[in-house]
């Protein structure tokens, strides 16, 4: 949000994130203190290290989601095999 709307007020940030004004204030200042965000007269911008961190965190989140998808595909395949075996067994029993 800071990247897309650098002039957003702290209230706008808190509302968009559905957090209290105090929590938004704390988090914003933590980002400024870490050097990831620069706050110049209400214009909040990501610094070079902030952009790198954003890219790194995004890549990590994407990798995690891809792993979750792979795990779910494996679970689905296992359930399909189990259902296939159960359906096949049911057909043999009826014959």
Rounded to whole angstroms, the Cα distance separating 24 from 51 reads 20
- pLDDT value for 90: 52
Full-model pTM? 0.57
Alpha carbons 14 and 27: distance in angstroms, whole number: 10
What pLDDT does 14 receive? 93
Which three-class secondary structure state does DSSP give residue 35?
coil
pLDDT tens, the chain, 95 aa long: 887 888 888 899 999 999 999 999 999 889 999 999 998 877 888 888 988 998 999 999 999 999 999 999 999 999 988 888 665 555 554 54
């Amino acid at each position: 949000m800071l990247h897309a709307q650098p002039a957003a007020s702290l209230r706008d940030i808190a509302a968009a994130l559905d957090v209290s004004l105090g929590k938004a204030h704390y988090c914003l200042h933590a980002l400024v203190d870490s050097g990831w965000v620069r706050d110049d007269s209400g214009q909040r911008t990501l610094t070079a290290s902030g952009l790198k961190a954003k890219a790194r965190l995004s890549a990590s989140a994407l990798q995690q989601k891809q792993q979750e998808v792979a795990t779910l595909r494996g679970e689905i395949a296992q359930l399909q095999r189990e259902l296939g075996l159960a359906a096949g067994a049911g057909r043999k029993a009826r014959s």
